[in-house]
Structure 1
Amino acid sequence: MGVLTDYFRAADAASVVQALEQTDGGSPLVGPECPVFDGVEAKRVDPAVILAKLIAAVQQIPWRVDLVEETTVWPASPAPGSDNLEDEDNPWVTGPWVSELHPLARDTLAAVGDSEVPTIVARWVQAEELRGTRVEDLQPLAEELILLARRAREAGEQLYCWMSL
């Protein structure tokens, strides 16, 4: 089972929560008002590892666990105690989950020049988690994420990640 991830931009967490409440937590890139937000489908590109490795490739620094800071905005209910983590009706267990990415992630991606993308992607595919992936396979995704970050920065919006199992 793979993790589905969508990255999107929105004005604030409140608008994200409102949209998710209307779709029962479904992807904000799919729905009756297709799409609710401007975004990119990025299957298996989680913020903490794979996206953070792209950010590390941009900054030419080693990856670290806190490179992309996130704030959870969905589920909107408070996180349960550890005694409720086996409950299949618990949205903290079953997802989906949405987090707001720290503006530094957005700004780092937005600052990438078009001519830098191939070199950055060549560094990114060296990540252990991407072993066997070719630059040609990931370059379009990297370009989409960079363009999304630019649009978010220009609009004064934040980047969000929707994840589901």
Structure 2
Amino acid sequence: MGVLTDYFRAADAAAVVRALQDADDRPLVGGRDPHFDGVEAKRLDPDVVLGELVAAIRRVPWGVDTVDERPVWPTAPEPGPDGPRGEDDPWATGPWVVELGTAVRDTLAGVADADVPAAVARWVRSEELRPADAGDVQPLAEELIRLARRARDADEQLYCWICL
């Protein structure tokens, strides 16, 4: 089972929650009538794989705090460690949406076009992307960078939709 991820921009978390409540099986990103401008980036989780890209751009080692995020969906409180995790528990079944910190958006948006190939070359050395080739993943990195620039220019935040 793989993790599916889509990255998108929105004005705020309230707009994301409204879209999720009114989705009517429409995708948030992609498709004929998407809710948001975004990038379909399957298997690119925000914590590790996107974090590795952010670290590569910053030229620092990846760490658990590289990507600052906060949960947006589901809106129900997450059960404690002894709480139920049944089929009806949205925290167990997904989808989940997290808002990425402004520093992540600004790191992606701020990388110079001329520096992207070198950042991608560092990114593909991460364990999670092996045995990927830089030429294969550079278009995805460029899409994420352009999305971050549009979000920054519109004073919006970046979000990640995650589903199993």
TM band (smaller chain): over 0.9
Matched with 2:17 is 17
What pairs up with 1:69-108 in 2 under 5 angstroms? Answer: 69-108=68-107
| Greater than 3 Å deviation, 4+ residue runs | 24-27
Q: Structure 1 residues 49-58 or 20-29, which shifts more?
A: 20-29
Matched with 1:3 is 3
Task: Give, in angstroms, the shift of residue 115 of structure 1.
Answer: 1.2
Matched with 2:50 is 51
Give a deviation string over 1:26-63, Cα, whole Å, max 9, x none. 641156x7111000000111110000000000000000
Task: Give, in angstroms, the shift of residue 84 of structure 1.
Answer: 3.4
How many residues are treated as equivalent by the alignment?
Answer: 164
Q: Structure 1 residues 3-12 or 78-87, which shifts more?
A: 78-87
Matched with 1:142 is 141
- Structure 1: how far apart are the matches of 2:133 and 2:30? 28
Structure 1 unaligned spans of 5+: none
Measured on the aligned residues, the alpha-carbon RMSD in Å equals: 1.5
Structure 2 unaligned spans of 5+: none
- Structure 1: how far apart are the matches of 2:80 and 2:24? 23
One-letter amino acid of the structure 2 residue matched with residue 135 of structure 1: A
- Structure 2: how far apart are the matches of 1:67 and 1:45? 15
Give secondary structure in 1 for the equivalent of 2:82: helix
- Structure 2: how far apart are the matches of 1:16 and 1:161? 10
TM-score, normalised on structure 1? 0.95
- Structure 1: how far apart are the matches of 2:52 and 2:69? 15
- Structure 2: how far apart are the matches of 1:25 and 1:92? 19
Question: 1:83/1:30 Cα in 2 relative to 1: closer, same or farther (>3 Å)?
Answer: farther
Aligned-pair identity (%): 62
Matched with 1:40 is 39
Matched, 1:110 2:109: yes
